Every structure is written in structure tokens, then in C-alpha cells.
Structure 1
């Protein structure tokens, strides 16, 4: 079963690390929102109720564990993984006492972080949804149904599989060969150069009949990516 749609908030002031985490967690199927500071995080948590926070301790304005301690004081019990260079025993103890549930020190192994995220979500009883979201698209993978801006849109099996392949690989350029293998699979012997173009054009007409949303961006000579 795909791991989908547990929402994760990352607070990390190093932009390259934040982008790396957003990419890797997004690739795993999580909904990810990143912040470079704690500004606006409390309001976001109140509105969205994320399943997990990944918090750097060295943040501008307020130390990360102090922010978590404050969130605990006002009643939020969202699980927290601290991500930080603070690795002394006293600092680790301080982080746990202020409300941390797990800890990973920099420099870190991304695969280890993903495993810790999965384990903490499992311990906290988060149910992973079979629904995938991208912009105003919602794919219910169990029912194999698509909703666009809350309205159901009927797709063929191939169209659904094609859209699903894009949505589970957001912001990545998908090569034609990859799409052929993922979507057409054993039927690829009937695959022609223009097959993907035709399929995507049909899909676009169904999910964006006005032609204004630009879901699919052609990458010349390579393939497509979601816009």
C-alpha cells in the first residue's frame, strides 16, 4: 500500500536542507509544507492539523525546542522529530524534555530520517490515506476515482494510471520511456511515438476543459512534468 497524505511540517532555516527534505518526503507520498522560521507555523498547524513536525533547533528568532515547548504548553501534541547539530547528552535530554519524540543529528542520512518518520507516524497511530492530492486534484486510489475541484471526473483505466503516475512523482520530469513502462507496461508493444502525447491531450481535456491550468509541462526531447 502506498504511504500517502500524512501531512508533515518542516521548520528548517537552511534552505538547501529544507528543499532536500521537501523533495524526499514528497517523493515518498507525504504532503509536505516547509518553513524557514517559526513565523506563521502556529496558524498553519491550527488550520491544517499536520501529522508530524520536523524541527531544526537552531532557528532564527526562537530556539526550536523552545518553540515546541510553547506548542506543548498551549495544547498541541503533534509528534516532533528534532533535526539539529546539537548532539551533547544534555542537549538531547533538553530536547526530549521540551516535547521532542525523536531526534536525528546533522549531518544526517536521509534514508534514516525517512525510516524514523515512518516509525513515529506508525507509533502515533496515523492512518495513511489512499488519497493523493495535487493542486485541486484528488485521486482516490482505492475507488480509482478522480475529483477536480471537488467534482468527480470520469477517467479510463489508462488515463487514471497515467495521472496517478504523475501525481505520485510531483515536480519530476518523467521520461517517455518511464511513462511507457509504468503506464502501458505489457501493452508497450503497441506503443508508438505519439501515444503519450495523444493520451495526455485527452487527459488534459477531461481535467482542464478550459485549458488554463497547465497541469502538464512538456520537456522538449525528454517527456513531461506536472506544473
Structure 2
């Protein structure tokens, strides 16, 4: 499972919400669950989820009305509707409001996971595991080669693993312990904080020699963030 795929679930039945979150997390996705649409807009302003699962029958604002609203606001996040409404006209209404897929209750969690995966692939969120693109970089995880503007960059295996870890966790503060674990593996226990800093500085000089791209941001008391 590619990291950094976050899924928002808006479902007013707490037991169903917990069940969906449990199965998605088991598959390796990150989740954010809401019992109503109340705080979702604020969440979307701060986060970049890859998919939303939205119940139609919500308190306050009906699910399709909320999706129609966020579409007008410019959000193009793929949406799967959950609903007890299965009449043709109601299904059509859901699609017209900006839904991408539809599941009627009760539903199979296995089918939901398959639909989630299919929609993430269609939207490009689930890119092939061997190649990951970010800005002007393409990382080939199978060959352990990084390309910037189509030109290969000479990186050590450690530097490549470090860059791959950052690219898979864009905008997230990463601790040095996490970086050690991901980039150094079993040898990470013998690597001190200064060695991590040195490795990041070397990597920085190779992928951004002029410093104009400003990829790496120190996060006080935590580690680094890649932007």
C-alpha cells in the first residue's frame, strides 16, 4: 500500500463509521471520520484527502447537498456515496451532485474496499508502486533511481531511500527516528541525529543544489518536513 492516502468518512451511525475506518486502516489507508458534515469543510482546507465516503442520510446537511457544495467550492475529491436510497431517481440525483460511485446499505465491506481501490486508481491517487512522481522528480522504486526533469541523479542507496521516504510523506513532519527506520533499516540504531542531518544536507545538495526549491524544512523538536 502506498503511504499518504487519506480517506474521509462522513457517516452518522457510529458503529458503521468505526467498522469502515477499521477495515480501511487494516488495508493501510489513513482515515478521518466524521458523524456529520459540520467540521469537514475546515478539515478539507487543511488536509488533502484522496477520497471521501459520504452517507446520504446525514443530520443537518444531506450528503449529496454537501458534496454538491464542495464541488462548487472547487474540490474534486472522488466521492463514494453510502445510502439506503436505491431508487433510480435517487441514484441519479447522487451522481448529478458530484458522486463518483454508489453503494446501498447494507453493503459488503469487501466490495467497498474493492470500489475504494478502483476509484483511487482511476483518480491517480494509487499510482504504480514502482514509479512515484513529485513536482519535477520521478522516483523509480524498483530500480532505485531518481530523475529530475528527466535526467538521472547520482544518489547512494541510502540517499535514495531517504528521498523516497520524504516523497511518500510530503508535508508531514518526520522524526529522525522514523527516517532512521525507513532509510537505514536495521542499521538505524547505530545512526545518530547528526548523521541524519548530514545525509539530508548531502541529499539536498544533489536534488536542489541552488536551494531555490526549498524542499526540506526543519521542524523544531521533531525533525524535517518535505514540501
TM-score range, shorter chain: 0.5 to 0.7
Provide the residue aligned with 2:86 in structure 1. 87
- The Cα offsets for residues 67-120 of structure 1, whole Å up to 9 and x where unpaired, read as 111111121111100011110001000000111000001000000000000000
**Structure 1: how far apart are the matches of 2:105 and 2:77?**
22
Structure 1 position 150 matched with structure 2 position 174: yes
Shift of 1:149: 5.4
Provide the residue aligned with 2:54 in structure 1. 55
Provide the residue aligned with 2:9 in structure 1. 10
Shift of 1:18: 0.2
3-state SS of paired residue (2:77): coil
Aligned-residue CA RMSD (Å): 2.8
**Structure 2: how far apart are the matches of 1:16 and 1:159?**
42
Gaps of 5+ in 1: 131-141, 161-227
| Contact 1:54 1:82 (8 Å CA) reproduced | yes
Calculate the TM-score normalised by the size of structure 1. 0.60
Cα 1:39–1:159 shift into 2, 3 Å? farther
3-state SS of paired residue (1:5): coil
Shift of 1:4: 2.8
Q: Relative contact order, CA 8 A, sep 6+: which one is greater?
A: 1
**Structure 2: how far apart are the matches of 1:74 and 1:5?**
24
| Contact 2:81 2:103 (8 Å CA) reproduced | yes
Shift of 1:121: 0.6
Cα 1:143–1:91 shift into 2, 3 Å? same
1:112-131 correspondence runs (5 A) = 112-127=111-126
| Contact 1:37 1:59 (8 Å CA) reproduced | yes
Calculate the TM-score normalised by the size of structure 2. 0.60
**Structure 2: how far apart are the matches of 1:59 and 1:44?**
18
| Contact 2:2 2:126 (8 Å CA) reproduced | no
**Structure 2: how far apart are the matches of 1:21 and 1:83?**
11
Cα 1:28–1:64 shift into 2, 3 Å? same
